[in-house]
Amino acid sequence: MLSNKNDPSCHFERSEKSISNKKTWDRWELIAIYFLQKKWYKIIDSNYKISGGEVDIIANFNWKTIFIEVKYRKNLSHGIPEESLSKTKKKNILKVIKYYILKNKIKEEDIRFEFIAITEVNEKAKINHFKDVEL
């Protein structure tokens, strides 16, 4: 379990077996979740999918619902993670966000989109967190 011991409401659980069976990318998603929890984000969901789209992480922070895309690059030979957020990907994420806020009766002014770019440097995660990203 990843948790912030100072805030019992701030936790995200996955069994050790499910973690070990997930693809490598999920390791980085869990690192992003832990990173957010250390900043007092409350994780609501991960890998939230509808037909034609997915949002990696949904969280609450400062009375806002935050939708977060996570991108990982082991090296920069394929570009930096920030470059992977294409127009098509943004369109699909926006579709998921619209569905989610309609389903959960959330006002547009109470949401935000963020992007977490993770690169591996000397076997350690380098995390860049972009807030208020425009879709």
Domain borders along the chain are 2-130
Q: What per-residue confidence (pLDDT) applies to 14?
A: 41
Q: What per-residue confidence (pLDDT) applies to 68?
A: 98
Q: Which CATH number fits domain 2-130: 3.40.1350.10, 3.40.50.2300, 3.40.50.1970, 3.40.50.12160?
A: 3.40.1350.10
What pLDDT tens digit does each residue of the chain (135 aa) get?
Answer: 333 334 433 344 444 444 443 555 578 899 999 999 999 999 999 999 999 899 999 999 999 999 999 998 877 767 788 877 889 999 999 999 999 999 999 999 999 999 999 988 787 888 999 999 988
Whole-prediction pTM: 0.78
Q: What per-residue confidence (pLDDT) applies to 81?
A: 80
Pairing state between β 42-50 and 2-3: unpaired
Cα–Cα distance, 86 to 71 (Å, whole number):
12
